[in-house]
Amino acid sequence: MKAHTKETQATMTPEKSLQFLKEGNQRFVNNLKANRNLLEQVNDTSDGQFPFATILSCIDSRVSAELVFDQGLGDIFSVRIAGNFVNEDILGSMEFACKLAGTKIIVVLGHTSCGAIKGACDDAKLGNLTSMLGKIKPAVNAVKEPADASKRNSSNIDFVNNVAEKNVDLTIENIRKLSPVLKEMEDKREIAIIGAMYDINTGAVTFYE
């Protein structure tokens, strides 16, 4: 499989880009890989890059977007931060990726049993981590069940995963609210912005379409 070129990127639509990601994850789950020569892709992309997707995911070592979607060099922009939330710098990176570099889809990829989500659920305090986890607290507060405070912590994995899903939803809301550039592109159907969840037990990605 060759690296994307300007011509192949131009043929991509938001729908086709989503299908590429779904097919890549299916290969990953089935322990298959597309036939790629990565060193050849290094050479092919030396004069430019033409990715088709932008993935915002957690820094978790188990959730490498390139691996779980079976993509090669030059295929995706990968934005990673603990808890997969957005700030001004990440939004600027996404605007570059979509408006200037031509990607057709943004995927906000959460994952089960997320350490950052667990930290926010437990109201963990540690240096700069305290402020970072504060960005995830709105998702914790938005999940109303269970009401019992003793069950609203990292020991309740169902609660943790529900917060992770809500965090993906709120992140997408923030992208649309805080980036008029991306919102306009989505409204014009130039890009799609969707959420997804990676299951650390199976390797499967569920898309929220």
Taking only the tens place, the pLDDT of each residue in 102-152 is: 999 999 999 999 999 999 999 999 999 999 999 999 999 999 999 999 999
For the segment 159-167, the average pLDDT, to the nearest whole number, is: 98
Give the number of other Cβ atoms within 10 Å of residue 34's Cβ: 12
Encoded tokens for 36: 């790629």
Separation between Cα atoms, residue 194 and residue 177, nearest integer Å: 14
The structural domains of the chain, with segments of one domain joined by +, span 6-208
Q: What is the pLDDT of residue 179?
A: 98
Q: Give yes or no for residue 7 having a pLDDT over 90.
A: no
Q: What is the pLDDT of residue 145?
A: 96
Q: What is the pLDDT of residue 51?
A: 94
Q: What is the pLDDT of residue 42?
A: 87
Query: In three state form, how does the secondary structure of the chain look?
Result: CCCCCHHHHHCCCHHHHHHHHHHHHHHHHCCCCCCCCHHHHHHHCCCCCCCCEEEEECCCCCCCHHHHCCCCCCCEEEEECCCCCCCHHHHHHHHHHHHHCCCCEEEEEEECCCHHHHHHHCCCCCHHHHHHHHCCHHHHHHCCCCCCHHHCCCCCHHHHHHHHHHHHHHHHHHHHHHCHHHHHHHHCCCCEEEEEEECCCCCCEEEEC
Q: What is the pLDDT of residue 194?
A: 98
pTM: 0.94
Place of tokens 């943004």: 106
What percent of the chain stands above pLDDT 90? 85
Band (167; pLDDT cuts 50, 70, 90): very high
Q: What is the pLDDT of residue 34?
A: 87
What is the C-alpha radius of gyration for the chain, rounded to an integer number of angstroms? 18
Q: Give yes or no for residue 189 having a pLDDT over 90.
A: yes
Encoded tokens for 149: 């405070």
Q: What does the pLDDT look like over 28-41, one tens digit per residue?
A: 999 998 888 888 88
Give the CATH architecture of domain 6-208.
3-Layer(aba) Sandwich (3.40)
For the segment 154-168, the average pLDDT, to the nearest whole number, is: 98
Name the packing angle between helices 157-178 and 180-187 (round to 10°): 90
